[in-house]
Structure 1
Amino acid sequence: MRRIPDASISLILTDPPYHSTKKSNISGDKSFQTDRHFLDWLSQYCSEWKRILKPNGALYCFCSSEMAARIEVIVAQSFNVLSNIVWTKPNDPGFDGWKQKMKKESLRQWYAHSERIVFAEPASEGNLHRSYFGNELRRLRLKAGLSGHKLTEMTGAYGAVNHGGAVSNWETGRNIPSREQFQRISEAILSTGNIDFFPSYEDVIRPFNVHSRIEYTDVWSFPSVRPYLGKHPAEKPSEMLEHIIESSSFRGDIILDCFSGSGNTSLAALKMGRRTIGIDIEEKWAVSLAQKIDVIARFTPFRIQEVEVAL
């Protein structure tokens, strides 16, 4: 990841070792002597994620229900944690791990039949909600020589409650403008002649495309991947990965999975018109992903510009 330039990744969608599961067939899952050792290791990744993620990018980090709260605290040091998503894995009997085999009364706690996904955005200090767009709007407004009231007047973005209108809410990070409002803001600020460039919507607004016909709450019910020959032990369902990519990136964006495993994140990204970087410590999974991408390039209309396997 240290080879990746600053602020170049639009979406980090990744699945680190869980540590709490202690599975021998997952590289790194048994590498940590204590929870603190694991969290210190993961915090180094958080620092790199913050560096390489665009200011309007998004992070989705899979983790176990046991470690989720502590991981969220680590992530919150550099990011705004937006959701702690519960993935319920509603599998049929026989495909639900140890759920049917476990002696329930011996657990002394509720059986962990879900995983967590920490969803976050880069934090930008300087306003109430640590909003990157809020800081940028204020900087550009002041450079243009406009007061908040004047910009409100020029855009017609009056608020029902506060006299500053929507502009003050945008600058504190409470919410964001629509595309139409964003266009009016751009035209108003550029019309002053004091600045000659205003960034595009895609460069400053974090994408989040959801509606009522898809999973839009923080409880998701995607079935896990059923066993098959050559399956990665921590493989995530393509449908869920596609859902994340569609919701939190634009076409042409770069998607990073730095614990690539099966490579499903990269395959989903290519399928949906994004670019992708997949990294894995095990050579067999890196080579497997390159082979899968080669098949896609030969037998589908996807245009694969470059495939690099660095070992």
Structure 2
Amino acid sequence: MTFEELRRVQFEKIKANICKGSFYSSPNDLVINEDSLNILKLIPDNSISLILTDPPYHSTKKNNITNDKSFATDELFIDWMSKFFKEWKRILKPNGSLFMYCSSAMSAKLEVKMSQDFNILSNIVWTKPNEPGFDGWKGKAKKESLRQWYPHSERIIFAEVAEEGNLKRSSFGHFLRNQRKIAGLSGNKLTEIVGAYGKVNHGGAVSNWEAGRNIPSREQYEKISKALLDTGKISSMPVYEDAIRKFDVNSNIEFTDVWNFSSVRPYKGKHPAEKPLDMLEHCILATTYEHDIVLDCFAGSGNTAIAAKNLNRKTISIDVEKQWCDSIINKLTNHQFFQMVYAEKIS
């Protein structure tokens, strides 16, 4: 089975599980108009490659964003979000990634709670620069009345699933150690077979991989898989794309934890929390492969789905507001036309 076929089968399984809640379905896209927590519970374990989502910020208290004013205290908001964290950990592939947008006022509290289930890899600062001639709220604010620095930036928490039992709480480290023990191979023996000797300690590269210090290359992983399968005690090994978390950046793109993607200028029909397509595409390209499944459970503008579709990924969009689900469907079904119109609106 090819990688594309594997992802198609996984996507069809998800669709079968949540067909009753399906609002719109195509071979590569799902849109569901529902409370996302209800739908998340229907998604099979370890089936999503990337969660890229923008929950209510709570601290901004906007009337036009559902649940932004629903919680009397920060603690109640965090308790509500923790229900999502549990489901996100369950449905993410062990090598999957998570981007969660949040306000600077709430990021620290959210990180503490998230760290129970995830390794927090980066706290990204999105500076939200405006295009020339558009100052936005930053330009309108009465600076002399401020009692703290104006909160012009937003935060993006980037994380992976955490698995207890090794130094770095590495899911791959946990998996490799279990498979090696089932196969009856010592760490030194597997290191010898793979031919990769580490510099950190006596156990070599295998010991480092199992501790989560680093990861094997594709060639090394193929040797690991063959060695384990050759024992006859392991029946199958996942493909590299389902074992090692993808992360691919270079010096020509944003590679630091400070991002300067321009915010979306106002236009008729704009979602109040709309994120720029180029930033969402940046997230998807760095952390997924073609045909991977991308989930946004606070879909809003639908730009996550459009970014994923642009890059030949499969998409699942969930939003509690019917008007935004209608808008997402319109964008997906008129994809090429929308791309041209959107480019004109933000130019």
Bin of the TM-score, shorter chain as denominator length? over 0.9
Alignment partner, residue 11 of structure 2? none
| 1:212 aligns to 2:248 (yes or no) | no
Structure 1 contact 61–117 (Cα < 8 Å) conserved: yes
Tell me: CA distance 1:117–1:142, structure 2 relative to 1, closer, same or farther (3 Å): same
| 1:257 aligns to 2:285 (yes or no) | no
From 81, 85, 88, the equivalent of 2:120 is: 81
Cα deviation for residue 131 of structure 1 reads 0.9
CA distance in 2 between partners of 1:198 and 1:214 (Å): 33
Cα deviation for residue 195 of structure 1 reads 2.5
Structure 2 contact 200–208 (Cα < 8 Å) conserved: no
Structure 2 contact 331–338 (Cα < 8 Å) conserved: no
Alignment partner, residue 194 of structure 2? 155
From 38, 46, 52, the equivalent of 1:7 is: 46
CA distance in 1 between partners of 2:266 and 2:229 (Å): 57
From 198, 204, 223, the equivalent of 1:165 is: 204
CA distance in 2 between partners of 1:33 and 1:93 (Å): 38
Alignment partner, residue 192 of structure 1? 231
From 289, 314, 319, the equivalent of 1:280 is: 319
Cα deviation for residue 299 of structure 1 reads 9.4
Provide the alpha-carbon RMSD of the alignment: 1.7
Instruction: Specify the SS of the correspondent of 2:140.
Output: coil
CA distance in 1 between partners of 2:200 and 2:109 (Å): 38
Tell me: CA distance 1:96–1:174, structure 2 relative to 1, closer, same or farther (3 Å): farther
Alignment partner, residue 268 of structure 2? 229
Cα deviation for residue 55 of structure 1 reads 1.3
Alignment partner, residue 153 of structure 2? 114
Q: TM-score, with normalisation over the residues of structure 1?
A: 0.92
Instruction: Specify the SS of the correspondent of 2:201.
Output: coil
CA distance in 2 between partners of 1:221 and 1:55 (Å): 30
Structure (1 or 2) with the greater helix fraction: 2
Structure 1 contact 94–100 (Cα < 8 Å) conserved: no
From 143, 159, 165, the equivalent of 2:182 is: 143
Report the AA paired with residue 301 of structure 2. Answer: S
Alignment partner, residue 30 of structure 2? none
Structure 2 contact 125–259 (Cα < 8 Å) conserved: yes
* Unpaired runs of at least 5, structure 1: 301-311
CA distance in 1 between partners of 2:65 and 2:178 (Å): 47
From 144, 147, 169, the equivalent of 1:105 is: 144
Q: Choose between structure 1 and 2 for higher RCO, CA contacts under 8 A separated by at least 6 residues.
A: 2
CA distance in 1 between partners of 2:55 and 2:232 (Å): 48
Report the AA paired with residue 316 of structure 2. Answer: I
CA distance in 1 between partners of 2:74 and 2:200 (Å): 47
Cα deviation for residue 117 of structure 1 reads 0.5
From 286, 307, 327, the equivalent of 1:247 is: 286
Instruction: Specify the SS of the correspondent of 1:60.
Output: strand
CA distance in 2 between partners of 1:107 and 1:24 (Å): 22
* Superposed CA offset, 1:51-87 (max 9, x none): 2111111111100001110011111111111110100
Cα deviation for residue 204 of structure 1 reads 1.4
* Superposed CA offset, 1:120-142 (max 9, x none): 11111111111111111111212
Q: Which runs of 4+ in 1 moved over 6 A?
A: 297-300
Cα deviation for residue 94 of structure 1 reads 4.8
Report the AA paired with residue 327 of structure 2. Answer: S
Structure 1 contact 144–189 (Cα < 8 Å) conserved: yes
| 1:202 aligns to 2:233 (yes or no) | no
